[in-house]
């Protein structure tokens, strides 16, 4: 177990965590961005299974949010404003008329303070940041700590801890795009997905959740039994079409199983599970990914990765039946998401 550090562009640092099985996770202090995750396939070939830029300078803009910590609020806030205790807070509109992923001043754009740690069977990073009242338009001074822990069992733990001196909004996630084929050899069409969810939230034409909770029965959103992710890309469903033929929807977890997500890539044999304390997640299949971006292993294309954005829903500001994102001064925000990498049975 060891940690390496290198200077990037004379202003950032990249930390690479390595366990005893040659799995590595590389993270920038800028945005807490996961730039690479290297894991073996069934033949022992170690390859990168996440999307990242070829040139570090491209992370400065990063309109696709590759690998970043997302906050204060992950997702879209309608009309870039919200009310809290009869007071209106105006945010920056960076997605049409709406506010997306914390806006241009979101946590994906800040430099986090980083310290590292190592035990007999773990190695990790503690990232801290203090968001001051009014930053990005949100109330309250918010102290945030995000811990990345790599274990010797090829598990990556993401722990989120935060508190605020004022009532505010908070739901954090990580926006890594996964592609288990390794080194971007193909798209995620043939990845299979099992998802512990019988309900998703409908979207309107601006990709704002309508608040209508839809049962997945008989729809291309039913992943309770394992099936290929790409099966829904060209479905006639209006909800698939509205996001550019694919998925960009919030799924509410049933919590029927210990693991909420199982994703497999049958050719190389890699498997990843996602276990989280969050009430749901946005499944995003890179429908809007720009073509031709210079990534580490080639040029970007549609459907080249899949994001599992575990979080609560900003739509709860308007629909009380959805998981809430209000953080009171008396509360501690604490959530964990665990990504476990292994191999499919032969």
Which residue of the set 99, 108, 175, 249 is catalytic?
Answer: 175
We report the CATH number of the domain holding residue 57 as 2.70.98.10
Residue 253 CA to residue 115 CA, distance in Å, equals 33
Residue 34 and residue 25 in contact, taking contact as beta carbons nearer than 8 Å: yes
Residue 209 and residue 202 in contact, taking contact as beta carbons nearer than 8 Å: yes
- The alpha carbon torsion through 122, 117, 144, 255 (nearest 10 deg) reads 10
- Inter-CA distances, 23 with 32, 340, 342, Å: 19, 11, 11
Range 41-58 burial, b when 16+ CB lie within 10 A, else e:
bbeeeebbbbbbbeebeb
- Inter-CA distances, 24 with 19, 128, 130, 295, 310, Å: 7, 22, 28, 18, 22
Predicted local confidence at residue 30, as pLDDT = 98
Per-residue pLDDT 10s for the chain (346 aa) are 999 999 999 999 999 999 999 899 999 999 999 999 999 999 999 999 999 999 999 999 999 999 999 999 999 999 999 999 999 999 999 999 999 999 999 999 999 999 999 999 999 999 999 999 999 999 999 999 999 999 999 999 999 999 999 999 999 999 999 999 999 999 999 999 999 999 999 999 999 899 899 999 999 999 999 999 999 998 889 999 999 999 999 999 998 889 999 999 999 999 999 999 999 999 999 999 989 999 999 999 999 999 999 999 998 988 888 899 999 999 999 999 999 999 998 6
Predicted local confidence at residue 256, as pLDDT = 86
Domain total in the chain: 1
Residue 284's CB: how many other CB atoms inside 10 A?
Answer: 21
Residue 91 belongs to domain spanning? 2-343
Which residue of the set 47, 135, 309, 335 is catalytic?
Answer: 309
Model pTM score:
0.97
Q: Is 175 a catalytic residue?
A: yes
Q: Is 2 a catalytic residue?
A: no
């Amino acid at each position: 177990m060891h940690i390496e550090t290198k200077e990037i562009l004379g202003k950032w640092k990249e930390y690479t965590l390595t366990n005893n099985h040659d799995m590595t996770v590389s993270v920038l202090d800028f945005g807490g961005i996961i730039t690479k995750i290297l894991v073996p396939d069934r033949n022992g070939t170690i390859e990168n299974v996440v999307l990242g830029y070829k040139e570090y300078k491209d992370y400065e803009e990063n309109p696709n949010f590759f690998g970043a910590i997302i906050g204060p609020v992950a997702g879209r806030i309608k009309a870039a404003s919200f009310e809290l205790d009869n007071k209106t807070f105006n945010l920056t509109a960076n997605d049409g008329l709406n506010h997306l992923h914390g806006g241009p001043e979101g946590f994906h754009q800040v430099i986090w303070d980083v310290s590292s740690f190592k035990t007999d069977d773990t190695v990790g990073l503690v990232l801290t940041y203090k968001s001051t009242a009014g930053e990005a338009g949100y109330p309250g001074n918010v102290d945030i700590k995000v811990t990345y822990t790599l274990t010797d069992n090829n598990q990556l733990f993401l722990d989120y801890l935060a508190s605020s001196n004022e009532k505010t909004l908070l739901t954090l996630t990580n926006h890594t795009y996964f592609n288990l084929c390794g080194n971007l050899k193909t798209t995620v069409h043939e990845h299979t997905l099992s998802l512990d969810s019988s309900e998703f939230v409908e979207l309107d034409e601006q990709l704002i959740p309508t608040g209508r909770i839809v049962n997945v029965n008989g729809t291309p959103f039913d992943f309770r039994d394992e099936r290929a992710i790409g099966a829904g890309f060209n479905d006639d469903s209006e909800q698939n079409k509205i996001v550019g033929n694919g998925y960009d929807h919030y799924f509410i977890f049933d919590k029927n199983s210990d693991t909420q997500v199982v994703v497999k890539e049958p050719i190389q044999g890699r498997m990843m599970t996602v276990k989280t304390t969050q009430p749901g997640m946005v499944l995003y299949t890179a429908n809007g990914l720009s073509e031709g971006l210079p990534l580490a292993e080639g040029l970007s294309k549609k459907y080249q990765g899949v994001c599992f954005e575990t979080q609560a829903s900003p739509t709860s500001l308007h629909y009380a039946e959805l998981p809430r994102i209000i953080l009171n001064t008396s509360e501690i925000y604490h959530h964990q998401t665990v990504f476990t990498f292994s191999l499919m049975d032969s």
